[in-house]
Amino acid sequence: MIYDLAVVGAGPAGSSTAIAAAKAGLSVLLLEKKNVGRDKYCGGGITVLARKYLKDIGASEVEEVFERFSEGHVLILPGEKILIDAIKIHGYYLVRRSRFDGKLMKIAQSFGAQFKPETEVNRINVEGDKVVISDRKGEKYEAKYVVVATGADDRIPVSMGFPKREKEGLGHCWGTEAPYDVDTQIKKWRSEYGFTPLFFIFGILTYGYFWIFPKAGHMNVGMGTTLEESAKYGELHLKGYAKGLEAAKKLGILDNTKPFKVNMSWIIPGRPREKTYSIKKRALLVGDAAGFVYPLTGEGISGSICSGMWQPRP
Ligand SMILES: Cc1cc2nc3c(=O)[nH]c(=O)nc-3n(C[C@H](O)[C@H](O)[C@H](O)COP(=O)(O)OP(=O)(O)OC[C@H]3O[C@@H](n4cnc5c(N)ncnc54)[C@H](O)[C@@H]3O)c2cc1C
């Protein structure tokens, strides 16, 4: 069968593309190298804008996996004097990515997209007026067009002849999402600040920040900076993380820092790739594959959904 559209990668960008395309009446094949329930290292903050895009594509059902609402930020600059700025604005819905992405994959299927998990694509070629996609097991799939939604991993876009990412636009994050008594901690935060915030602690590493995001029964604690800075750090990654935890404990943000050990790290592509589509290659890049992440905040889920929902047209 020749599908109208093949989508490679079932993160928020790929699943949103598949949902929008299937809704528009296209036959869609969604290929994912992992399985439903795969995790992705991420703060999991869904902005109001991302929520609107989800509604626009008809995927509001995903709100079932929204775990918490945070009404604003607390920005902290430690020093001789500690500057704390609590801003009740720009709320975030917090999700665990394994559940959020899994739900979006299921919604894509419910709209008629054919979903193939555990299918790692390793080659995409144009043959005449179709695209031939090969996976690691030697299977081949055919479609009129392909949307590449493989995230921050550069391999597939570069193998297709898209330009490499510019190093300057890349961020690097590390941390964990660990089981934690979040409800008790939030009670304390609410009595201190009057709302449930996301915490950002600055001044520990150059250009970056340390964050604390509450989920349901899990706390996401991480830090990030530019990849260029991070490459110089070596042991400073862990020392910086330890400093962040120490500051969080001292300020009464985390009563218990023991659960938090760095066990995940990932790249943030904070600048669009020089070219994000090719008529000749019959291909479009969306989400992190295209580099659609806000460089300052590292927020990329809304850009992923937005790029996914606008790409497919019958
Ligand atoms: C530490 C960290 C914190 C973040 N916090 C936030 C936040 O709070 N809010 C926010 O909005 N954004 C956040 N982001 C950014 C956000 O995670 C990304 O922008 C978003 O996940 C991009 O979605 P995507 O679908 O493009 O890529 P991904 O979510 O990376 O999905 C890509 C998918 O493609 C699959 N894949 C890859 N290669 C292949 C292949 N060859 N064949 C088949 N499948 C393949 C992968 O398995 C994966 O499922 C954060 C990022 C990081 C690193």
Per-residue pLDDT of 41-50, as tens digits, reads 999 999 999 9
Picking from 74, 91, 70, the residue whose alpha carbon sits closest to that of residue 82 is: 74
Task: Please tell me whether residue 252 adopts helix, strand or coil conformation.
Answer: coil
The protein residue with its alpha carbon nearest to ligand 1, atom 17, reads 42
**8 CB under 6 A from ligand 1?**
yes
The residue whose CA is least distant from atom 1 of ligand 1 is: 42
ipTM for the whole predicted complex goes beyond 0.90: yes
Residue 105 pLDDT? 97
| Nearest CA, atom 37, ligand 1 | 150
Match 């570069």 to its residue by tokens: 158
Q: Which of 47, 135, 150, 302 to mutate to test the pocket of ligand 1 (most atoms within 8 A of CB)?
A: 150
Which tops the pLDDT comparison, 265 or 79?
Answer: 265
- What spacing in Å lies between the alpha carbon of 158 and ligand 1's midpoint? 17
Residue 31 beta carbon below 6 angstroms from any ligand 1 atom: yes
What is the Cα–Cα distance from 33 to 141, expressed in whole angstroms?
14
What is the mean predicted confidence (pLDDT) over 56-68?
96
pLDDT bin (cut points 50, 70, 90) of residue 262 is very high
The mean pLDDT of 218-232, rounded to a whole number, is 91
Say yes or no: CB of residue 91 within 6 Å of ligand 1: no
The closest residue, in CA terms, to atom 53 on ligand 1 is 266
| pLDDT score for 205 | 81
Q: What's the CA angle centered on 200, arms 197 and 204, to 5 degrees? A: 155
CA 289–ligand 1 middle distance (angstroms): 9
Q: Give me the domains of the chain, ranges plus CATH numbers.
A: 2-68+96-166+271-310 (3.50.50.60), 69-94+168-267 (3.30.9)
Q: How many Å lie between the centroid of ligand 1 and the Cα of residue 128?
A: 31
CB 238 within 8 A of CB 174: no
Q: Ligand 1 pocket: which of 159, 230, 301, 307 to mutate (most atoms <8 Å of CB)? A: 301
Question: Which ligand 1 atom is nearest residue 41's CA?
Answer: 1
Say how many C-beta atoms besides its own lie within 10 A of residue 255's C-beta.
Answer: 12
Residue ID of nearest Cα to ligand 1 atom 10: 299
Report whether residue 102 contacts ligand 1, using a CB cutoff of 6 Å: no
Residue 12 CA to ligand 1 center (angstroms) comes to: 7
Pure H helices in the chain = 12-23, 48-56, 97-110, 155-159, 182-193, 227-230, 236-250, 301-310
**Is ligand 1 within 6 A of the CB of residue 290?**
no
Give the number of residues written for the chain.
314
Atom number in ligand 1 closest to CA 288: 26
* Other C-beta atoms lying within 10 Å of the C-beta of residue 13: 33
Give the count of beta carbons closer than 10 Å to the beta carbon of residue 219.
Answer: 20
Query: Is residue 80 predicted with pLDDT exceeding 70?
Result: no
Q: What spacing in Å lies between the alpha carbon of 240 and ligand 1's midpoint? A: 24
Which CB contacts under 8 angstroms, 24+ apart, belong to 152-161?
A: 152/266, 152/267, 152/268, 152/269, 152/288, 152/289, 156/8, 156/121, 156/124, 156/289, 157/273, 157/285, 157/289, 159/122, 159/123, 159/124, 160/124, 160/278, 160/281, 160/283, 161/278, 161/281
301 lines ligand 1 (CB under 6 A): yes
- When pLDDT is averaged across residues 176-186 and rounded to a whole number, the result is 97
User: What is the structure's pLDDT at 314?
Assistant: 54
Band of residue 70 on the pLDDT scale cut at 50, 70, 90: very high
